[in-house]
Amino acid sequence: MEAYSAQDRPQDKSPIFQQIKDYLVGEIASGRWKEGDVVPSEQALVRQFGVSRMTVNRAVRELTAEGALVRRQGSGTYVAPQKYQATLVEIRNIADEIRARGKLHASRVIALRAEPADELLAAEFMLEPGAALFHSLIVHCENEVPIQLEDRWVDPACAPAYLEQDFTSITPNEHLTAVAPLQGAAYTIEAQPAPPEAAHLLGIEAGLACLVLHRRTTSAGRVASVATMWHPGHLARFTGTV
């Protein structure tokens, strides 16, 4: 096996456990490790990376929880069957949903820039506070009526050209699907009163009930995107099948 250590990636500012995750997922994605192959033991990874057993254990434990690896008691750790898509609630592109209803989609970009992660965002992305993230704030319209305010944060390591995109012609969903294929997603849906800024951008009264979808997606073993999407309650309805 080719030697690898964190020192081989001097530009990578992510935590060492994340670098180990990236390495393991990279071996799987490249095809060097296939479904059912045994992966190096934790002790072997400790020697390879020159880190503590606890750090390696966290990387392996998180990839096991995410479905990339599977542990077998007394046998070892293996590349798991790749079943990500089969177990996910479908994530659709809002532009496609609007067009499927025979309506016209348009978007207005309010913000598109790099910003430092605060403590809450850093925790969601499993990065250090102050790490650079890409931030977009976009209003999606159906027949010129605002129906969604998309407040999205993106890990530059997953989508390095994110800030260069024209999000009036494509959506962030379309771009991320192309460059950071979905591995997993976690989400919550709740009713919240619209704060003044969101209400202004959606063209509704402050305090009006909104359906708010908060979604965190992963790609290649790391958090790729965290998005909060506000929908006027009188216009929105979420549906799905399992």
Place of tokens 């799987």: 28
Q: What is the pLDDT of residue 121?
A: 95
Q: What is the pLDDT of residue 26?
A: 84
Q: What is the pLDDT of residue 91?
A: 65
CATH 3.40.1410.10 given to domain 85-232: yes
For the chain, the domains span 6-79, 85-232
- What is the second-level CATH architecture of the domain 6-79? Orthogonal Bundle (1.10)
Q: What is the pLDDT of residue 90?
A: 55
Q: What is the pLDDT of residue 145?
A: 93
Q: What is the pLDDT of residue 108?
A: 97
* DSSP annotation string for 180-214: S---EEEEEEEEEEPPHHHHHHHTS-TT-EEEEEE
**How are strands ordered across the β-sheet holding 105-116?**
105-116, 132-142, 145-154, 222-232, 209-219, 184-193
Q: What is the pLDDT along the chain (242 residues), one digit of tens a residue?
A: 444 444 444 455 678 898 999 899 888 877 788 888 999 999 999 999 999 999 999 999 988 887 788 888 888 999 887 543 333 345 678 888 888 888 999 999 999 999 999 999 999 999 999 999 999 999 999 999 999 999 999 999 999 999 999 999 999 999 999 999 888 888 888 999 999 999 999 999 999 999 999 999 999 889 999 999 999 987 766 655 44
Read off the pTM.
0.67
How far is 175 from 119, CA to CA, in rounded Å? 27
Q: What is the pLDDT of residue 67?
A: 78
How far is 164 from 146, CA to CA, in rounded Å? 24
Q: What is the pLDDT of residue 215?
A: 93
Q: What is the pLDDT of residue 130?
A: 96
Look up residue 110 and give its two tokens.
Answer: 């309010």
Q: What is the pLDDT of residue 151?
A: 98
Give the DSSP letter of residue 38.
Answer: B
